[in-house]
Copies of this chain bind each other. A is one copy, B any other.
Amino acid sequence: MAAMQDVQKRADARGIAIQRVGVNHVQLPFLIKTKDGGFQQVLADIRFTVSLPKEYKGTHMSRFVEILMPWSKKPLAEPEMDAMLSEALGKLDAESAEIELAFKYFLEKKAPVSGGSSLQGIDCSFTGRKARGMAMTFTLGVAMPFTSLCPCSKEISDYGAHNQRSLSKVRVRFAPGRECIYIEDLASLLERQGSSPIYPLLKRPDEKYVTEAAYDNPKFVEDILRDTVLALRKLDGLAWFSLVCENQESIHSHNAYASHEETLR
């Protein structure tokens, strides 16, 4: 075994430094820190890469998995992402490292009238990027579902109005030294810009409430996007966001779509 060749370490003559090389779609349980000071176990789908200098033939793929295993057992937020990336820079001898965890996170929802409690799963992501000796860049992604009700349909119809599931997907980055928003708060910001929030558990009085709330608050996908932009701009320390809003139109099988990106400082 002592003589087993390390093919990856051999010299490479092509002169190309690769921007990202590593593993994709590793699946592991991870612990995500929650707003209330605890943590939540999630199922993470992971991409984990480093840059590769032009001199080396390859990286060491098994080390990514070795680094991930112990980190999957520690409650995770920005500082732990930073430490995980620092470990990757060292163990893989790299100039920069990047990790993205995509996971479903659960929020407790209280039905608006009955107060009945249920759990709403939402798609989230943590992306960290770190160059040697530099601060980490952290990006939070949240996709929040809600209901939208069409203003045109309401206006032109004698009764009723078409409504549907909608989804706002946002990615946010804060200025260096500023704290990122909690998933819970960003999700709440997003759902407030729709016609009405949705809930896994609704009793009849709740259903009446949600139905009437949506009818009272009709919104085009353009309205949802603009109101979300206004709400995001008010976030203290926000440096950048990208936003996609999509209505799964109940009168079509295609979606109404709007997207927007801003660098704030």
A223 to B30, CA, bound (A): 32
A208 to B65, CA, bound (A): 18
Residues of B within 8 A of A153 (CB): 207-208, 211
A162 to B7, Cβ gap below 8 A? no
A16 to B254, Cβ gap below 8 A? no
Residues of B within 8 A of A221 (CB): 21
Asked whether any CB of chain B lies closer than 8 Å to the CB of A141, the reply is: no
B199 to A252, Cβ gap below 8 A? yes
Q: How many copies does the complex hold?
A: 4
A18 to B221, CA, bound (A): 11
Asked whether any CB of chain B lies closer than 8 Å to the CB of A125, the reply is: no
A210 to B152, CA, bound (A): 12
Of A80-88, A116-124, A180-188, the one touching chain B: A116-124
Question: A residues 224-265 with Cβ under 8 Å of B?
Answer: 225-227, 229-230, 246, 248-261
Q: Which of B104, B151, B229, B256 contacts A61 (CB 8 A)?
A: B256
Who on chain B is nearest to A6 by CB? B204
A21 to B245, CA, bound (A): 9
A4 to B204, Cβ gap below 8 A? yes
The winner among A14, A18, A255 for most chain B CB atoms within 10 A is A18
Query: Size class of A's contact patch?
Result: 35 or more
The contact string, 1 if C-beta is below 8 Å from chain B, for chain A 1-23, is 10011111000101010111111
> How close is A50's CB to chain B, nearest CB, in angstroms?
11
A-B contact pairs, 23 of them (CB 8 A): A4-B205, A7-B151, A18-B258, A22-B258, A23-B254, A25-B253, A27-B104, A27-B254, A29-B106, A41-B41, A43-B121, A49-B257, A62-B201, A149-B160, A156-B204, A157-B212, A159-B159, A159-B215, A165-B248, A165-B253, A196-B251, A200-B252, A250-B250
Hey, which bits of chain A sit against chain B, CB under 8 A? Answer: 1, 4-8, 12, 14, 16, 18-29, 41-43, 47, 49, 52, 57-59, 61-62, 65-66, 69, 72, 104, 106, 116-121, 145, 147, 149-153, 155-165, 196, 198-205, 207-208, 210-212, 214-215, 220-223, 225-227, 229-230, 246, 248-261
